[in-house]
Amino acid sequence: MHSRPMIRRIFRLGILLKGIDGFFEVGAGLVLLLFKPGRLDAWLVLVTAPELSEDPGDWVANHLLHLAAGLSVGTELFAALYLLSHGAVKVLLVLSLWRERQWAYPAAIALFSLFVVYELYRFSLSHSPWLAGLVVLDAGIVALTALEFARLRASR
């Protein structure tokens, strides 16, 4: 069947993207942990100043500053720990899926399904098109992971 290699390639691409996402989450969590509260704010002001001097309406720069300004010490610590743990689990699962570890398939299906449920809940509150896209992407990853798990079990 010709679709199996294609499904496998799409699965691998999907988990690669999940792994990259997890890697960036770990990095963001480390940045939040390493910067003392308030330092992140000052650093972002410094980094975004040149862009904002050219374009005071720059959406990305203004959004980053707005997010940083809303972080309290407790929120910053929670966000750091959340990003670190969420990213590390994602990276571990992706590496294990890449190596075809059997335990990783049901674990990934369960965890990514929980992501979908949470994203659907957040979507019901915000109606964000980004969240809708994320739901579709994560649901697709869950389906592809289930297909790959079935393929792996059948081949053994």
Q: The tokens of 148 are what?
A: 């790959």
pLDDT higher than 80, residue 34: yes
Whether the Cβ atoms of residue 145 and residue 107 lie closer than 8 Å to each other: no
pLDDT recorded at residue 100: 93
Spatial distance between the Cα atoms of 43 and 39, rounded to a whole number of angstroms: 6
Helix axes 104-126, 129-155, angle to 10 degrees: 160
Per-residue pLDDT band for 42 (boundaries 50, 70, 90) equals confident
Give the tens place of pLDDT for each residue, 57-114.
Answer: 888 777 777 776 666 566 677 778 888 988 999 999 999 999 999 999 999 999 999 9
